Amino acid sequence: MGARIAWIKAAVFVLALCPLARLAVGAFAGALGANPIEAITRSTGTWTLSFLLITLCVTPLRKLTGWNWLLRLRRMLGLYAFFYAVLHFITYVWLDQFFDLGAMVKDVVKRPFITAGFTSFLLLVPLAATSTSAMVKKLGAKKWLALHRLVYAVGVGGVIHYWWLVKRDITQPAVYAAVLVVLLGLRLLYYARESAATAVARRREPALRATNQR
Amino acid sequence: MLIKRRGDVPTSEITDQGVYLRRREFIQAAGLAAIGAAAGGLLTAPRTARAGEKIHAGAMKSPFSTAEEPTSYKDATTYNNYYEFGTDKESPATHAGKLKTRPWTLMVEGEVKKPRIWGVEDLLKKMSLQERIYRMRCVEGWSMVIPWVGFALGDLIREAEPTGKAKFVEFVTAYQPDNMPGLRIPALDWPYVEGLRLDEAMHPLTILAVGMYGEVLPNQNGAPIRLVVPWKYGFKSGKSIARIRFVERMPQSAWMKASPQEYGFYSNVNPEVDHPRWSQANERRIGEFLKRKTLMFNGYADQVASLYTGMDLKKNF
């Protein structure tokens, strides 16, 4: 299994770089259309969302299939979401706004879709920063897990960012929203089941105690 | 009315008009040769104007034309908003080939003494065509410079003789469900409708275009006949116009119906009045890297500001 997972990891690592490679080749060949900056912004943005959703797929997929090795891909997938988010952010700051700080501050404060996007990006930073095994140990599993639940907020914020940006045809953001709803819905379902199971266990406990006392 | 023209760019920087026109000539020659070779017996068929065919504008340069360098033909014909063919910028160029542009009639109706159904060919015969190189500013924050070929809408309006009741002009655009895949998505209330105040429609800057870059209008750019109002955001310049109706009350445009808090009737280019979701202070000229400042009325303030004297442009956005 160890060798196989190493291969799978390597394959995912290379595959996840393909969108960037496509952009780089397109930019170099002048094949990104009439508005290349917009094309880069769009592409890095949608790939951020895609990697976020792919990362959120790991847990439900693992539960459905029993493939526990999927868990070993999660960190890399999450970091790729962050990687494309950074590219998206750099595209905005450098190519789109050209470091016009005043205009950017105005954007973040005045424009809800940028507020949503910027907030989501900021929330991703601590997740990326605490992604190493050393940080998991340092924080302790419980705290680390609690912190990384932020990814749900990031997903919601990211989809809202896309939805509010679109002028009229909301088909594409709606697809991302639908997938996110399913993925978060599954988690609610798991949570409900688990708490039901604990409740049953608790109900049994006093009965057990009673038997023991007798 | 005193009409002034801005001196935008030193003459030394102007690309000679002939240069970009000739650039297309050899492509056209090749195309015609291919058609000639393929046509054979079809040569007797009636000749209809097709996208890419040369169109003759008068030789006189318009004082309204900007001296700025036109956007590349490729960019202007592959980066379009024409939602009837899809909401992506690339979709119109891919799908608009299906638009049926002949026969084409333009109905002029409503509050006019002489309503008429114009065949597009009759219009071309009647009106004198002129080249107008205009800036085009999209509400999304990008802009182009396009050498249109067309005629003053005012000329057509004078033919129709509006009655005293005519205060506004409504433009209804083509609705071809079989040819327009975008109509299946209820992004807007189809058919696409736009409107102008009568004095805006009569303004000499306002034209109906039938060509660009010296050629017949490509379908994705609004063939066979489209409105061009250069001091307003691009969406006001309706494509593939089928009906022009003179009315007493302000028409409801497709975008006003879709999102009244974001799109008003006037939609004049105004760097000081932001779209609720993005700034309008700057724009990216297609083909350029750095953004440039957006100009009041898209740089046509000298010609059109007087139309809006005393109006609160923040309210009448």
Residue A177 within any structural domain of the chain: yes
Q: A-contacting residues of B 160-189, CB under 8 Å?
A: 185, 187-188
The predicted pLDDT at position B7 comes to 47
Residue A206 maps to a domain? no
- Mark yes or no for CB contact A103/B142 under 8 Å: no
**Cα–Cα dist B120/B151, whole Å:** 13
CA distance to partner chain A, nearest, from residue B281 (Å): 9
Name the pLDDT band for B28 (thresholds 50, 70, 90).
very low
Find out whether B193 and B251 touch, Cβ atoms under 8 Å.
Answer: yes
For residue B25, what pLDDT band results from cuts at 50, 70 and 90? very low
pLDDT digits (tens, 9 = 90+) for A121-147: 999 999 999 999 999 999 999 999 999
Q: Is the pLDDT score of A100 beyond 60?
A: yes
| Mean pLDDT of all residues belonging to chain B | 88
| B contact residues 36-95, partner A, Cβ 8 Å cutoff | 74-76, 78-79, 83, 87, 89-90
Q: How many helices and strands, by DSSP H and E, does chain A display?
A: 9, 0
- Flag if A168 and B258 touch (Cβ within 8 Å): yes
Q: Which of residues 257-296 of B touch A (CB under 8 A)?
A: 258-259, 274, 277-279, 281-282, 284, 286-287, 289-291
The pLDDT of residue B20 is: 47
CB of B70 closer than 8 Å to CB of B146: yes
Give the whole-angstrom CA distance, residue B293 versus residue B279. 11
Q: What is the mean pLDDT of residues B75-99?
A: 96
Mean pLDDT of B232-239: 98
Least confident of A179-183, B60-64, B222-226: B60-64
Q: Which residues of A touch B274 (CB under 8 A)?
A: 110
Residue B160 lies in a domain: yes
Interface of B with A in 291-310 (CB under 8 A): 291
Q: Tell me, what's the ipTM? A: 0.83
Name which residue leads in pLDDT, A202 or B136: B136
Asked, for residue B316, whether it belongs to a domain, the answer is: no
- Say yes or no to pLDDT of B141 above 70: yes
Residue B207, beta-bridge partner list: B152, B228
**Which residue has tokens 């009244």?**
B260
Least confident of B35-39, B192-196, B229-233: B35-39
Q: Provide the CATH number for the domain around residue B154.
A: 3.90.420.10
Cα–Cα distance between A13 and A2 in angstroms, integer? 16
Residue with tokens 């333009």: B106
* Residue B313: inside a domain: no
**Chain A residues within 8 A of B277 when measuring between CB atoms:** 111-113, 164-165
Q: Which chain A residue is nearest to residue B84, measuring alpha carbons?
A: A169
A33 contacts on B by Cβ (under 8 Å): 78-79, 89-90
pLDDT of the residue at A168? 84
Mean pLDDT of A196-207: 79
Put simply, the chain A residues between 69 and 98 with a CB less than 8 A from any chain B CB are 95, 97-98
For residue range A74-86, what is the model confidence (pLDDT) as tens digits?
999 999 999 999 9
Of B75, B259, B274, the CB nearest to A34: B75
A161-177 mean pLDDT: 93
Within-domain flag for A54: yes
Is the pLDDT assigned to residue B26 strictly greater than 50? no
Indicate the pLDDT class of residue A209, thresholds 50, 70 and 90: low
With beta carbons less than 8 A apart as the criterion, state whether B111 and B160 touch.
no
Residue A55 falls inside a structural domain: yes
Return the pLDDT at B5: 52
Q: Is the distance from CB of A104 to CB of A141 less than 8 angstroms?
A: no
Task: List the domain range (segments joined by +) for residue A7.
Answer: 2-194
How many domains is chain B partitioned into structurally? 1
pTM of the model: 0.84
Q: Choosing among A168, A170, A171, which should be mutated to test the B contact, i.e. which has the most B CBs within 10 A?
A: A168
| Nearest CA-CA partner of B176 in B130, B224, B132, B140 | B224
What does the pLDDT read at residue A138? 95
The H or E element that residue B106 is part of is: strand B105-110
3-state DSSP of B158-217:
HHHCECCCCCEEEEEECCCCCCCHHHHCCCCCCCCEEEEEHHHHHCCCCEEEEEECCEEC
Total domains in chain A come to 1
* Domain membership flag for residue A51: yes
Tell me what the mean pLDDT of segment B259-269 comes to: 96
Cβ–Cβ gap A164/B277 under 8 Å: yes
- Tracing tokens 């015609």 back to the chain, one arrives at B32
A34 and B277 within 8 Å at the Cβ level: the answer is no
Over residues A175-190, the mean pLDDT reads 97
State the average pLDDT over residues B3-9: 50
Min Cα–Cα distance to chain A from B277, Å: 5
- C-alpha B276/C-alpha A145 separation (Å) is 38
Subunit contact A167:B291, Cβ cutoff 8 A: no
Closest CA to B73 of B100, B99, B51, B95: B51
**What average pLDDT does this structure show over B46-56?**
68
- Per-residue tokens: B55: 């169109």
Contact status of A99 with chain B (Cβ, < 8 Å): no
The residue range of the domain holding B52 is 11-308
In a domain? residue A88: yes
Chain A closest CA to B132's CA: distance in Å? 22
Q: Is residue A32 part of a domain?
A: yes
A199 in a domain, yes or no? no
